[in-house]
Amino acid sequence: MNTTALLLSVFLACLVEAVEAATIVLAAGTARDWRSALSGVGAGLVVLAAVVIVFGPAIALIPLDILRIFVGGLLLVFGLQWMRKAILRASGHKALHDEEVIYRREFAAAQSASGRSRFGVGDWYAFTLSFKGVLLEGLEVAFIVVTFGNIQGQLGLAAWTAAAAVVLVAVAAIIVRGPLSRVPENTMKFIVGIMLTGFGIFWGAEGAGAVWPAADLSLLVIIPGLAVIALAIVVVLRRRPSKSTPAAVSALSQSAPGFAGAIPDGGSPVGASLESSDPETGAAARTRTVTAGVNLPEGPRKASVVDSLKRFGLFWYDFIIGDDWRVALAIAASFAVTAALSSAGVGGSWWVVPAVAVLTLPMALSRLVRKS
C-alpha cells in the first residue's frame, strides 16, 4: 500500500508542477526566443538534478525517526495548504487555477520586456523566465522525490516516477504547442493535497513515537477519511457565497457540480485588485498584479541584493512554514505531545497528530473565508 500510494502521490504532484512549469516555458519560447527559453530549462534541470544527487544520499544519513518527524511536518504544512486552497476553489471562495490565463499573462509580459543578451545567451529574459519557472516548480518536486524516496528506501523509483510525469507533460506540450488547460489540475491538486497530508500525519506521528493500530494499513483509513472531511467542508462552504464573488457566479458555484462555479484563476471581479502569492499556483502568478480584471505585465526590473535575499528568504519561509504560521505551530505542538505521551508509556498516542491536523483545517479555512 505504501509503495503504491507513494508512487501515485509523486506522479500526480510532479504532473501538476510540470504543467505549471511548461506553461511558463511555452510563453517564454513563443513570445521571445525558443533557444534561450530551452537553455533556461536545461539550466534549471541541471540545478534540480544536483539537488537530488547531493541531498538524496545526505538525507539518508539522518536517523529514520528524526527524518519522519521532519518530513511529516513539512508534508503536513504543505499538504494542508494545498487542501485549504483546493477546498476554497471547489467551494467558489477562490479562483480556479487556469493555465490558459497564466499563459496569456506570461506571454504579454514576455512580449513587453526589453531584449538583451548575457553570458552568451541570446535573450536573457526568456532564459531567466524559463529557469526560474523550472527551478521554483522543480524544487517542490525534488523535495517530494527525495523525502518520499528516502523514507521508503526507494529513491530511485521515486525519481523515475517523477521523470515519467515530466516527460509526459513535455511530450503533451510539444504536441499541443499551447498551455495544457485541459489537464484537470484543480482536481489533481485536491487529491495530492489529501495524499500529502495523509502521509504527513502517518510519518510525523510515527517519528514522534506513536504506533499505528494497523501499521501501514492505517493509511487506508487516514487518506479516505481526509477526503470525506474535505468534501464535507466543500459542501458547507458552498452554502456561504464569497463576498468578493459576483452574485451570478456565487449562485452557479452552489448549483453546478465539481469545480464549475469558481472564477478562473487570474480573473477578478471588476474593480478588484489582487496580488497572488500562492506557493502552488506556479511561478507564473507569483509576481503579477491584476487590476480591474486586466493583467498588467510588470516587465524586467533590476533588483538589489537585499531584494533578492528577501525574496529568497520569503520563498523558504513560505515553503517551510506555509501561509499560516498557526498551523505550523499546532503541528509542531502535536508532535511534541505525541512524543511526550509515547515516552511516558501512554498507549494510543497515534490519535493526537490526526486530530490536530483535522481541527486546524476548518479553523484556518474560517479565517480565509472571512477575508474572501
Neighbouring-strand partners of residue 118: 121
- Which amino acid, residue 222? I
Which 8-state DSSP code applies to residue 347? S
pLDDT in tens, the chain (372 residues): 567 777 888 888 888 888 888 888 888 888 888 888 888 898 988 888 888 788 777 777 788 888 889 888 988 998 899 899 889 988 888 877 666 676 677 767 776 666 677 766 778 788 888 898 888 888 888 888 888 877 777 778 888 888 898 888 888 887 876 666 666 777 888 888 898 899 899 999 999 999 999 888 898 899 999 999 999 999 999 887 666 544 333 333 333 333 333 333 433 332 232 233 343 444 444 433 333 333 334 444 555 678 778 877 887 788 778 888 999 999 999 999 999 999 888 878 999 999 999 999 988 888 888 776
Between the alpha carbon of residue 129 and those of residues 38, 39, 110, 125, 245, the distances in Å are 10, 11, 9, 6, 32
**Per-residue pLDDT, 183:** 66
Extract the runs of DSSP E, i.e. beta strands, from 255-357.
Answer: 273-275, 289-291, 294-296
**Residue 267 three-state SS:** coil
Between the alpha carbon of residue 354 and those of residues 170, 172, 254, 315, the distances in Å are 37, 38, 30, 27
Edge-first strand order for the sheet with 273-275 is 273-275, 289-291, 294-296
What are the domain boundaries of the chain? 2-371
252 burial type by CB count under 10 A (0-12 exposed, 13-18 middle, 19+ buried): middle
Task: Please report where in the chains the cell 498584479 appears, as a residue.
Answer: 289
